[in-house]
Structure 1
Amino acid sequence: MFIHRLLDAPKKHLKACAFGGLLVAQIVAGTTLAARADTAADDPLTRIAGAEASQAKDFARSHTSAGKVSANTLLALARSQVGIAENAAGGGTKFHSWYMSHPRAVQTVARDGGSVAGFANAAWCDMFVSWVGTQLGLQDTVGVDAYTVEHAKWFAAQGRWGTAARPGAVVFFGWNGGKGFYDIDHVGFVLRDNGDGTIQTVEGNTDNGRVEIREREVAKVVGYGYPAYAA
């Protein structure tokens, strides 16, 4: 359940992967939620409750040095989430809960419309990518978003957008084969370039509603965002 674009809709209602179904549900149900001011903690890991925060901190502490994180470290964390699945409503993962509690949720609602509550059962591929980066302190270079189109544009605006599949790159897919930002439907991380016209990826919100490792056709890639990793 990862195609959520609304064709011929106004921009604020055009949401790829992690926001389209959300706004449709809110429009139909008439849900509203006043934007609230959340206080951002210095350590983003404190936004995750209890044992989850402790585990994430332990992972970051044991795999990082002086705040430098390698692509392999990020991919190890992403792979460790394989098997996590959504509920029957299409939500209920820790990635949903984390994003709803993060100050970025209020910001993206202000930009795109909808409500924070609507993220509860929204498509979550970009929430997964954002969660993984943030656990290792890479939110400023992986980015934090729930709308794949804006996330891709963010990479491009920083000059970190391209067409080469690199391990740890954030890969943006367009299932119709288009190469424009508004063709983007889905996002994940590149594990490796298979060298045969396919790449191996780790993604949240696959068609099975899980975090999974997949083999994808390069022809379906719109582009790649490149986080700044340690050498």
Structure 2
Amino acid sequence: MVIYMLKRTLSLFLFIVLIFTSLSGAFEVSAAYNNTYTNTGNGQTDIYEVAKTQVGYYEGMEKYASYTKYGDWYHDYMNVEDAFITAPWCAMFVSWCSYQAGTIDVTGSYAYCPYWVSYFKNAGKWHNRDSGYIPIKGDIIFYADDGSLSSHVGIVYESNRSKVYTIEGNTEDSCKYRSYYLDDTYILGYGTPAYKGEVNTVVPELPTPVTGETVYITGYNAQMSWGTANLFTKDFTGSNTVAYNELGIAWSAYLVAEPTASENVYRITRVGEHLQSGNLIIPEGGIIFASHCDDRDTNSDAYTNSRDNKIATTGFKTGDCVLLTGVNFTTGAVSATATLTKTTLSDTDELSLVLNSEYTIDSTNGYLIGVKEGVSLNEMKSQFTNNGLLFNTANVGTGTVISITDGNGNTTDSLIIIIAGDVSGDGKINSGDYLKVKRAFLGSIVLTDVQLKAGCLSGGNSITSSDYLKIKRHFLGTFDIFGE
């Protein structure tokens, strides 16, 4: 009997531990997405700030598959059947946010989007997408796959005269940030609740572009449309090649820019107009900016603004540096004042070549390419825009390090000089280089990465017989490595 009671007691204990562990695990998951926002009493702001605390929550992350806390809340709040707990939840998410923000009396509370659209229409608070209405923060945005019956809903948290930015539930089974152009046919329209508190109805104007100085940005890694001005760090397949026809519309003007050592500062490598075929390569870590002129109505503000932005784009020049502001690479949000603005790099930022320099910077490996044998330090300095250049050797050769420092003497940028054929690093190409490269080819010595870069004259990452023969012919005067 005692043994039996002990077994029952142990079983009960293990059962309690199991239940507690399961519940605590569930609470730990959902606790990460508790509403941590404190309402201000301004419903227009409170509803989207509450929604922001939920970004990242996903269906089935707690309790069981298809479960959401929004469906569970709606089930209890509206006293509806259990099926709502695991039902499609975009509308219940917005209802939950409204309840948390204390605005449910003006937004309504629904689980079915068409009923919610009817609610706003009956209240005289509805605007169709094609009505010319520009959404504001706190609006409830509705979507329709077929253009008539709403099938999805979200909350507007930002907008400008080109795009609308939203937070939505049940988007790929989770809460996510989204953005759309105002003329996107997926948008059905907007519900505009009569929020308590001061309502901000001002929609930010797009910045005024200045030729060769600044351009505005309306989208990020998004489909091109009429009058848009998009920034790209990748194409829609994730590769680094952007084809003009992937983006829906021919580009009126564009910029290609590579990164610099300064945060959010890029150096323009190409400027062009009317890209209607082919593709462009996005530099590693760089950007492509494409602008389109909306010429459907030449008397419209859309035409004037987009035309000016296109003209401003073509005013930039190769070698100009631009500062990127207003684009969030993480969320994809683009502020109403997002721009590329011409800027300059100080001497202490990074090494910068003069325009049309015969040299090339390999920023990936930190090499300076294109330097010829016998070049002097003064000749080297003339190829840079920087002052105060430092060299670690008295003569220029492969392996020489050129650098700049800040006011405290800290190195801010440096490059290793590569002279093709100069494997020994003395700045000359002679029999010593020939012998080193030949011995490396035969496997009797191993070259450093820098020496290998100087010795691989035929390209690639390994020495060939052609490489040491070219070096031999060069110092014998029957071949010019630099004129190849």
Q: Contact 1:90 / 1:122 at 8 angstroms: preserved in 2? A: no
Partner residue of 2:94 out of 108, 129, 135 = 129
Matching of residue 158 in structure 1 with residue 123 in structure 2: yes
Q: State the match for 2:175 in structure 1.
A: 211
Identity %: 31
Matched residues in 1 for 2:157 and 2:67: separation?
A: 26
Matched residues in 2 for 1:119 and 1:125: separation?
A: 12
Q: State the match for 1:193 in structure 2.
A: 159
Q: Contact 1:90 / 1:123 at 8 angstroms: preserved in 2? A: no
Q: Contact 2:43 / 2:103 at 8 angstroms: preserved in 1? A: no
Matched residues in 2 for 1:69 and 1:85: separation?
A: 28
Which secondary structure state, in structure 1, belongs to the residue aligned with residue 71 of structure 2? helix
Q: State the match for 2:426 in structure 1.
A: none
Q: State the match for 1:94 in structure 2.
A: 69
Partner residue of 1:119 out of 80, 84, 93 = 84
Matched residues in 2 for 1:75 and 1:202: separation?
A: 8
TM-score, normalization: structure 2?
0.31
Which secondary structure state, in structure 1, belongs to the residue aligned with residue 166 of structure 2? strand
Residue identity matched to 1:211: C
Q: Contact 1:90 / 1:209 at 8 angstroms: preserved in 2? A: no
Q: Flag the 1:105–1:153 CA change in 2: closer, same or farther, 3 A.
A: farther
Matched residues in 1 for 2:118 and 2:190: separation?
A: 11
Which secondary structure state, in structure 1, belongs to the residue aligned with residue 110 of structure 2? coil
Q: Contact 2:74 / 2:85 at 8 angstroms: preserved in 1? A: no
After TM superposition, give the deviation of residue 94 of structure 1 in Å. Answer: 1.0
After TM superposition, give the deviation of residue 105 of structure 1 in Å. Answer: 4.3
Matched residues in 2 for 1:154 and 1:195: separation?
A: 26
Moved segments of 4+, more than 4 Å: none
TM-score, normalization: structure 1?
0.62
Q: State the match for 2:103 in structure 1.
A: 138
Q: Contact 2:43 / 2:102 at 8 angstroms: preserved in 1? A: no
Instruction: Specify every segment of 5 or more residues in structure 2 that has no aligned partner in the other structure, as ranges.
Output: 1-26, 199-484
The size of the alignment, in residue pairs, is 158
Answer 1 or 2: higher relative contact order, Cα 8 Å, separation at least 6. 1
After TM superposition, give the deviation of residue 77 of structure 1 in Å. Answer: 0.7
Q: Contact 1:99 / 1:127 at 8 angstroms: preserved in 2? A: yes
Q: Flag the 1:184–1:217 CA change in 2: closer, same or farther, 3 A.
A: farther
Residue identity matched to 2:144: G
Residue identity matched to 2:143: F
- Once superposed, what is the RMSD of the aligned Cα atoms? 2.4
After TM superposition, give the deviation of residue 217 of structure 1 in Å. Answer: 3.8
Residue identity matched to 1:99: Y
Matched residues in 2 for 1:134 and 1:90: separation?
A: 25
Matched residues in 1 for 2:107 and 2:91: separation?
A: 11
Residue-by-residue CA offset, 1:16-54 (whole Å, 9 max, x unaligned): xxxxxxxxxxxxxxxxxxxxxxxxxxxxxxxxx9x97xx
Q: Greater share of helix residues, 1 or 2? A: 1
**Structure index of larger Rg:** 2
